[in-house]
């Protein structure tokens, strides 16, 4: 059972680190808005 306990502890720690990193990115990183232009082909468009 010690091996199973270690596995569970490692997985919980990795999940905690992942959750903390996603939270930190969502909280502290501000996106910069910019315009996006998409050109569409007219072949078959509007038929």
Please list the rounded mean pLDDT of every run of 10 residues in the chain (47 residues): 92 98 94 89 66
Per DSSP, 30 falls in state P
C-alpha dist (Å) from residue 22 to 8, 10, 14, 18, 29? 21, 18, 12, 6, 10
pLDDT at res. 22: 97
Structure tokens at 46: 């509007």
Q: How far apart are CA 16 and CA 24, in angstroms?
A: 12
Distance CA 40, CA 46 (A): 12
pTM: 0.60
Cα–Cα distance, 14 to 6 (Å, whole number) = 12
């Amino acid at each position: 059972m010690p091996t199973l306990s270690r596995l569970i502890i490692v997985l919980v720690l990795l999940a905690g680190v992942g959750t903390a990193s996603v939270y930190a990115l969502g909280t502290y990183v501000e996106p910069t808005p910019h315009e996006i232009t998409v050109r569409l082909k007219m072949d078959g468009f509007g038929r």
